[in-house]
């Protein structure tokens, strides 16, 4: 029996961080033995925010090295670059004929990014759709919301549907896009009276999803938050970042509740350290003998122990162009094979047929 198809992608918008590692990469590695896994670098999606071409190219390369260094094995999983599969671009055009601009405009990620592009800060409660539409339509041509940003969900749906993936491990912020993918699949099937696409779902790992916190006391480590520990950070940089992490004045009495910044440090410690070390610092917090400086030193060393072998592998891989090219060629070939089959079917179903 053929294995179920798992697909996920990360946009090439910079280096990968500890949040990406625990929230995505380490999970991908676990899946590659049991599923037909396809992991790709969503460089076309990155274009929606108009990156510098040099930086985009460099980012695609480093993310590829970071995928491999984190343990994704090209002999087990298909690793490819989105733009190496031109079938995706054609199917994006075809699927767009069945996507409503209204439903795209109501997407949370679109609203956030469109506001950012126009330099508007709107409070979430004041989510007035009409005012938002007027702002977009009335925007000057040099401060515009590009059409690619609007059709981002179509492109993501195509990534998934063209590979016939049914399981898509993504973060919470991507669930709405996945919901749209299911809607587009259903719509396509019912419009053409076919049972062609299956509906893809998030991968349920069971238990609470991992959320890696930032070092600035805030909720989530994220590229746009500027609070990241990157897999590529060298120990000196990493120690500095950890030692600068936000804390508080210390426990206010025995067994007092923890403030968010300190709880975040413990979350990071739990991810990277041994249970004994975690217990030692938890006890020290409970009996008020904790010194945050010691906690940070320990945390920095434990993170370094996790990231050092990965960083070394990243650098080795980045120095081996030939290897990277081979992986990417092989991945593109496999990804294109399935994509071409789907595209041929979709063209046929939609009436784009050869004479
Ligand atoms: P960023 O928020 O830094 O831009 P992305 O949105 O590109 O990261 O995320 C790529 C993948 O990494 C997604 O699957 C996302 O769920 C995961 N991820 C990102 N940040 C975290 C985090 N802090 N904790 C857990 N998972 C994360
Ligand atoms: N939109 C996803 C993100 O921002 C990246 C992505 C693009 C993706 N296409 C995908 C993820 C297909 C899963 C499947 O994180």
Residue 314 reports pLDDT greater than 90 = yes
Residue 152 reports pLDDT greater than 70 = yes
Residue 124 reports pLDDT greater than 60 = no
**For the CA of 209, the nearest atom of ligand 1:** 25
What would the mean pLDDT of 130-154 be, rounded to a whole number?
88
Which bound ligand lies closest to the C-alpha atom of 110? Answer: 2
pLDDT-derived band at 120, boundaries 50, 70, 90? confident
Cβ-proximal residues to 210 (8 Å cutoff; 6+ apart), any chain: 22, 23, 271
Residue 133 reports pLDDT greater than 90 = no
Verify whether ligand 1 is closer than 6 Å to residue 23 (CB atom): yes
pLDDT, the chain, mean: 94
DSSP assignment letter at 124: G
Distances, alpha carbon 52 to alpha carbons 8, 77, 272, in Å: 24, 30, 34
Residue 34 reports pLDDT greater than 70 = yes
Verify whether ligand 1 is closer than 6 Å to residue 27 (CB atom): no
| Residue 320 token pair | 């081996």
β-strand pairing of 36-42 with 5-11? parallel
Q: Check residue 122 and give its pLDDT.
A: 65
Q: Check residue 265 and give its pLDDT.
A: 97
Residue 42 reports pLDDT greater than 70 = yes
Q: Check residue 68 and give its pLDDT.
A: 98
91: closest CA among 19, 196, 17, 179? 196
3-state secondary structure of 184: helix
Which residue shows structure tokens 């994220």? Answer: 222
Verify whether ligand 1 is closer than 6 Å to residue 24 (CB atom): yes
Which residue shows structure tokens 């434990």? Answer: 302
Residue 149 reports pLDDT greater than 90 = yes
Residue 9 reports pLDDT greater than 90 = yes
Q: Check residue 121 and give its pLDDT.
A: 77
Q: Check residue 99 and give its pLDDT.
A: 98
Q: Check residue 14 and give its pLDDT.
A: 92
Per-residue pLDDT tens digits for 223-281 = 888 899 999 999 999 999 999 999 999 999 999 999 999 999 999 999 999 999 999 99
| Residue 194 token pair | 């076919």
Find out whether 185 and 161 touch, Cβ atoms under 8 Å: yes
Q: Check residue 171 and give its pLDDT.
A: 86
Rounded percentage of the chain residues whose pLDDT exceeds 90: 84
Q: Check residue 123 and give its pLDDT.
A: 58
Q: Check residue 270 and give its pLDDT.
A: 97
Q: Check residue 102 and give its pLDDT.
A: 94
Select from 6, 7, 20, 51 the residue to mutate for testing ligand 1; criterion: most ligand atoms less than 8 Å from CB.
20
Compute the distance from residue 20 Cα to the ligand 1 centre, in Å. Answer: 5
169: closest CA among 22, 44, 343, 307? 22
3-state secondary structure of 180: helix
Find out whether 77 and 38 touch, Cβ atoms under 8 Å: yes
Least trusted range by pLDDT, from 116-120, 163-167, 283-287, 298-302: 116-120
**b or e along 128-155 (b: 16 or more beta carbons within 10 Å of the residue's beta carbon)?**
eeeebeebbeebeeeeebeebbbbbbbb
| Residue 112 token pair | 């956030």
Residue 293 reports pLDDT greater than 80 = yes
Residue 90 reports pLDDT greater than 80 = yes
Compute the distance from residue 240 Cα to the ligand 2 centre, in Å. Answer: 32
Find out whether 278 and 269 touch, Cβ atoms under 8 Å: yes
Residue 166 reports pLDDT greater than 80 = yes
CA angle 67, 72, 74 (to 5 degrees): 105
Which residue minimizes the CA distance to atom 26 of ligand 1? 23
Find out whether 42 and 159 touch, Cβ atoms under 8 Å: yes
Residue 6 reports pLDDT greater than 60 = yes
Which residue minimizes the CA distance to atom 12 of ligand 1? 20
Compute the distance from residue 23 Cα to the ligand 1 centre, in Å. Answer: 6
Compute the distance from residue 221 Cα to the ligand 2 centre, in Å. Answer: 18
Q: Check residue 302 and give its pLDDT.
A: 98
Q: Check residue 139 and give its pLDDT.
A: 81
CA pair distance 82, 336, nearest whole angstrom = 10
Q: What are phi and psi of 85, to 5 degrees?
A: -115, 85
Residue 218 reports pLDDT greater than 80 = no
Written as one string, the DSSP assignment of 273-300 is S-HHHHHHHHHHHHTT---HHHHHHHHH
CA pair distance 242, 299, nearest whole angstrom = 7
CA angle 208, 175, 186 (to 5 degrees): 130
DSSP assignment letter at 223: G
CA pair distance 217, 204, nearest whole angstrom = 28
**For the CA of 177, the nearest atom of ligand 2:** 1
Provide the terminal-to-terminal Cα distance of the chain, rounded to the nearest Å.
Answer: 36
Find out whether 223 and 13 touch, Cβ atoms under 8 Å: yes
């Amino acid at each position: 029996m053929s294995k179920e198809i798992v697909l996920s992608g990360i946009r090439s918008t910079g280096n990968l961080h500890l949040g990406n590692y625990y929230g995505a990469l380490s999970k991908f590695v676990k899946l590659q033995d049991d599923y037909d896994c396809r992991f790709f670098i969503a460089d076309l999606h990155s274009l929606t925010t108009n990156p510098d071409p040099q930086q985009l190219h460099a980012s695609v390369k480093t993310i590829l090295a970071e995928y491999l260094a984190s343990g994704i094995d090209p002999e087990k999983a298909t690793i490819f670059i989105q733009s190496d599969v031109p079938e995706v671009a054609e199917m994006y055009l075809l699927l767009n004929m069945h996507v409503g601009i209204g439903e795209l405009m109501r997407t949370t990620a679109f609203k956030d990014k469109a506001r950012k592009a126009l330099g508007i800060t709107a409070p979430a409660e004041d989510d007035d759709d009409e005012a938002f539409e007027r702002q977009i339509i009335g925007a000057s041509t040099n401060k515009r919301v590009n059409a690619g940003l609007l059709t981002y969900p179509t492109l993501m749906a195509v990534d998934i549907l063209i590979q016939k993936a049914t399981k898509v491990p993504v973060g919470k912020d991507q669930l709405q896009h996945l919901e749209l993918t299911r809607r587009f699949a259903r719509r396509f099937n019912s419009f053409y009276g076919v049972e062609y696409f299956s509906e893809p779902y998030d991968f349920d790992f069971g238990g609470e999803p991992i959320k890696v916190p930032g070092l600035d006391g805030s909720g989530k480590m994220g590229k746009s938050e500027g609070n990241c520990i990157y897999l590529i950070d060298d120990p000196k940089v990493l120690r500095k970042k950890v030692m600068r992490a936000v804390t508080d004045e210390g426990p206010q009495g025995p067994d007092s509740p923890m403030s968010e910044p300190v709880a975040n440090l413990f979350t990071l410690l739990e991810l990277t350290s041994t249970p004994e070390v975690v217990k030692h610092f938890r006890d020290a917090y409970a009996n008020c003998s904790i010194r945050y400086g010691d906690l940070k030193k320990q945390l920095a060393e434990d993170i370094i122990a996790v990231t050092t072998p990965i960083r070394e592998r990243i650098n080795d891989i980045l120095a081996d162009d030939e290897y990277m090219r081979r992986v990417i060629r092989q991945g593109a070939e496999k990804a294109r094979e399935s994509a071409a089959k789907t595209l041929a079917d979709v063209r046929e179903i939609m009436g784009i047929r050869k004479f």
